[in-house]
Amino acid sequence: MQTKIVIVDDDEAFRKLLKIRLQSILGSPPEFTEYACLNDARAARGELLRCPPDLVMLDQHLPDGKGIELLEEGLFENLLVLAVSSDPSPEMPGRTVSAGAAYFLGKDHVRSPLFQHLVLGVIERNKIQQELVKSEVDRKVMGVIRTHIGTLRHEINNPLGAVIGAAYLLRNAESATEDQVQAAELVEKSGKRIKHVLDQICLALEQNVPLEEVTKANQTVYHIPGDEPWIGEEDS
């Protein structure tokens, strides 16, 4: 997968140098996204949060403010950010790290041999972090799904029990006609089928059982574990 790199810097010459250096480090061409000011980066907030980059190079002196403002606003949350600046003031490294940057580099350090190790380490750490974030999101989504399915099962089971019970009484009534008996049997069988499917879905979710894809009526659906496959029903 192509490495995604965000560069926030208004110095076009430095951006070109940085891109050449990073490409030489990574070997394969990365996907670069460049912003020349804070507001340009802010305007892309939705995309940056939806698809976090693997590496952020953040300049500190920009036309419309300080780079640390983006860190304080949480634009690069859960990411290790490399702050860069040509400002030699001794307080600059401390200010940027305190604001949330992982490391601070003078722009001349981009040519240093140690820059390669730092870049590779940060990219690897950010990839791992994003996998952890994704896993946590997936876990929360599954929790919501389990709650919804459990609620659905509870709300359906009560009226479904009444329907199945009524069908049983009609099917066994002495005055029931043959057509009524057949209709009652169909209702009872269908009701039990609905209950069985709901029970099996809830059990699969509780046990984290993977669902197998099958084809039914020319549509791809999931086969419910513990349920008989849909044989001969493709055209039903």
In tens, the pLDDT along 53-78 reads: 999 999 999 999 999 999 989 898 88
Report whether 70 contacts 41 (CB < 8 A). Answer: yes
Per-residue pLDDT tens digits for 3-55: 999 999 999 999 999 999 999 999 888 999 999 999 999 999 999 988 899 99
Report whether 91 contacts 66 (CB < 8 A). Answer: no
Pairing state between β 103-106 and 81-85: parallel
Integer CA distances (angstroms), 185 to 172, 188, 214, in order:
10, 5, 28
Taking the whole predicted model, whether its pTM rises above 0.75 is answered as: no
Residue 171 has pLDDT above 60, yes or no: yes
* pLDDT (0 to 100) of residue 137: 65
Per-residue confidence at 228, pLDDT binned at 50, 70, 90?
low
Residue 180 has pLDDT above 70, yes or no: yes
Per-residue confidence at 219, pLDDT binned at 50, 70, 90?
confident
* pLDDT (0 to 100) of residue 28: 85
- Alpha helices, DSSP H only, in the chain? 12-26, 38-43, 45-50, 68-72, 91-99, 113-171, 178-206
Choice between 213 and 48, residue whose per-residue pLDDT is larger? 48
Residue 90 has pLDDT above 90, yes or no: no
Report whether 123 contacts 175 (CB < 8 A). Answer: no
CA dist 221 and 21 (Å) reads 48
* pLDDT (0 to 100) of residue 234: 40
Residue 231 has pLDDT above 70, yes or no: no
Which amino acid appears at position 201 of this protein? I
* pLDDT (0 to 100) of residue 207: 78
CATH code, 4-111: 3.40.50.2300
Per-residue confidence at 107, pLDDT binned at 50, 70, 90?
very high
Residue 233 has pLDDT above 50, yes or no: no
Report whether 78 contacts 129 (CB < 8 A). Answer: yes
